Structure 1
Amino acid sequence: VPLNTSAPMAEWSWVVYTVLEVLIAVTCCLGNTLVVCAVCVGIRDSLREPTFCFLVSLAVADLLVGVAAVPLAVVLDGWVNLTPDLCLLLSCVVLVLTQASVLSLLAIAVDRYLRLHTPLRYKALATQRHSWLAVSVCWILSCLLGFTPLFGWHNYSPLTSESNNTSSFSLIAPPCTFLSVISLPFMVYFNFLGCVMAPLLVMTLLYTQIFWSLQGRLKENCPQAQASLLREKRLAYSLALVLILFAVCWIPLHLMNCLLLFHDLPVLTVKKCYFPGILLSHANSAINPVVYAYRIPKIQQAYSHIWRQVVLRGNCCRGDKEVQHSQRRVNQKGGPHANEQGHSK
């Protein structure tokens, strides 16, 4: 594999890369925690709507990017020595989270399509139980697809590595890098074309059909019905924007994998572009909460409600501290007789 090298980046570039990853991770954690709280607590009966259930699933996947994928991206750069099996397992975690995001976006697109084109059947299908069942299916499929390299489609041979370790009597594990254990043909043919591009194409067709149908209905219906259709169109635009941002942030990294597979490029040339691509893919998880805030009115209102509660509690705590401080000053000035008078009253 062209990128299978144990030499990490230069020290200064690694520091810049790590600092940016830490900032992205913190933003992912704070923003997506706020999204989960806004949907689950701030919006009444939101979890009865399938779209918001799938948005929570997407936010959880983005939250786990900050918690797990970003730290692993820093670790899986040849800076630690791990056994090939453990290195492969950690690398697959990143694939699982990416796949969970893709399938959550696909579930959202299918939900909006069914809501618009089969309204009578949709009411019977769109129950809370069915929504969470669909979320569970998304995550189970994500684990099956993301952990596929564990079943044999990887870069190293366990028997070969064991024989090499036995012959050399070396107890030091090799440096762990993502592409030292993950096969490039797997990343291009299976992960990119099959697990990312195919769902993206399906989602593009679904949203095209949704917008085409909404545009036709807006011309035909009365003004009372148009208000509901306009809300539906605004939400569809917002969800399509989330999809577009996902594609813009993730496809460059996959295209670099294609270049690595089909062209023999120098390692240093690839690494100069590879790490900005990783940062861009992780930044997608930090951007989504901002999109929700600006484009989805219900979540925007929930953000405002949570912010008001935080400010109100802060003011209450500050007021309580001021009251206690002023009471303490009165007691100090009045001395013990003031306390006795206060008790007698």
Structure 2
Amino acid sequence: MADWSWVAYTVLEVLIAVSCCLGNVLVVCAVCVGIRDSLREPTFCFLVSLAVADFLVGVAAVPLAVLLDGWVSVTPDLCLLLSCVVLVLTQASVLSLLAIAVDRYLRLHTPLRYKALVTQRRTWMAVSVCWTLSCLLGFTPLFGWRNYSPLSSDSTNTSSSSFISPPCTFLSVISLPFMVYFNFLACVMAPLLVMTLLYSGIFWSLQGRLKECCPQAQASLLREKRLACSLALVLILFAGCWIPLHLMNCLLLFQGPQAVTRGTLYTGILLSHVNSAVNPVVYACRIPKIQQAYSQIWRRFNVRLNCCHGDKKVRRSITGSRANHTETCGSGGKSTP
């Protein structure tokens, strides 16, 4: 890749990382502070989980994506561990989206038992299960499905006292068969297919109920449909941003390195990271409660800013009046014989 292209890629990654951090911190603040009793609603708990995963993409995954391109020389074991962190965060996003889809399906199809079935305790247990599974699935290469053998690296270290660790790259330690057969097909595509079926059932049921229900119940169903559309859009954006990169891995596995140019691969990596920066924008544009929370946070920020500005003006006026009083007293003292 040309030097200017690498600079452009790095600058874009930095901008994406900053957007991920700021946008998702705002989402967490909006849900936890701006929306009253929001954490008692399962959907918003899972949205916080998704926002945390997206925030960690900006904090960890994006910097690691830049470093894991041959810029650092570490031991293969450490390189593998750093590469697995990226897989864990991706899996956390997938499972959070799956939990949201299951929650909306249960809310619509078991309305009478929903509150008894989906309690706050069970919701946070589900969040914990999502992150635990993400760690287990993401760290699977540590248990053996990788591109190098620890025994061979140890023998290399003992045979040469002047051994230098090779540059750390993602595909030097993560196996392409693992990425295609396990990570893509089993851990990404399978949950996406389940979510597609769940949202299809949700929209089919909502459409039928809207035709049959009385006008008084339509408002509630329309709100439910709007939220389902917003969450489905988040799912579609996730698929649209991540599937191209996984398809490139398929081409690399079946047709070799010449099938995907370096620039195309970097474009796919950027697109996958953009997803974490876009989600807060979707929440702001599509979910009314989060819109209201953003407005409240903005108003509070403006009030505090105006208060600080007003305090500065008051301090300046007090300081100015004291200075004028001092000058007056000083001039009076000089005129006394």
Kept in 2: contact 1:331–1:338 (CA 8 A): no
Map Cα deviations across residues 207-247 of structure 1 (whole Å, 9 max, x no partner). Answer: 00000000000000001111000000000000000000000
Paired with 2:261 and 2:100, the residues of 1 have a C-alpha distance of 35
Which ranges in structure 1 are unaligned for 5 or more consecutive residues?
Answer: 1-8, 340-345
SS at match of 1:139: helix
Kept in 1: contact 2:13–2:270 (CA 8 A): yes
Question: How many pairs were matched up?
Answer: 330
Counterpart among 107, 119, 134 of residue 115 in structure 1: 107
Paired with 2:78 and 2:217, the residues of 1 have a C-alpha distance of 57
Counterpart among 240, 243, 253 of residue 248 in structure 1: 240
Paired with 2:77 and 2:132, the residues of 1 have a C-alpha distance of 22
Paired with 1:167 and 1:151, the residues of 2 have a C-alpha distance of 25
What's the CA shift for 1:280? 0.3
Map Cα deviations across residues 153-179 of structure 1 (whole Å, 9 max, x no partner). Answer: 000011111212322322321100000
Map Cα deviations across residues 25-56 of structure 1 (whole Å, 9 max, x no partner). Answer: 00000000000000000000000000000000
What's the CA shift for 1:10? 3.3
RMSD value, Cα: 1.3
SS at match of 1:119: coil
Q: 1:87 to 1:323 in 2, by over 3 A?
A: same
Kept in 1: contact 2:30–2:290 (CA 8 A): yes
Identity of aligned residues (%): 80
1:194 lines up with 2:186 in the alignment: yes
1:53 lines up with 2:84 in the alignment: no
1:334 lines up with 2:325 in the alignment: yes
Question: Corresponding residue for 2:171?
Answer: 179
Kept in 2: contact 1:78–1:175 (CA 8 A): yes
Counterpart code for 1:111: D
Kept in 2: contact 1:293–1:303 (CA 8 A): yes
Counterpart among 213, 216, 223 of residue 208 in structure 2: 216
Counterpart code for 1:331: R
Paired with 1:140 and 1:338, the residues of 2 have a C-alpha distance of 73
SS at match of 2:72: strand
Question: Corresponding residue for 1:102?
Answer: 94
Report matched runs for 1:6-155 at 5 Å.
Answer: 9-155=1-147
What's the CA shift for 1:61? 0.1
Map Cα deviations across residues 172-208 of structure 1 (whole Å, 9 max, x no partner). Answer: 2110000000000000000000000000000000000
Question: Corresponding residue for 1:343?
Answer: none
Counterpart code for 2:317: S
Counterpart code for 1:276: T
TM superposition score normalised by structure 1: 0.94
Which ranges in structure 2 are unaligned for 5 or more consecutive residues?
Answer: 331-337
Counterpart among 211, 220, 238 of residue 228 in structure 1: 220
What's the CA shift for 1:122? 1.1
SS at match of 1:79: strand
Kept in 1: contact 2:156–2:163 (CA 8 A): no
1:300 lines up with 2:291 in the alignment: yes
Counterpart code for 1:249: C
TM superposition score normalised by structure 2: 0.96
SS at match of 2:185: helix
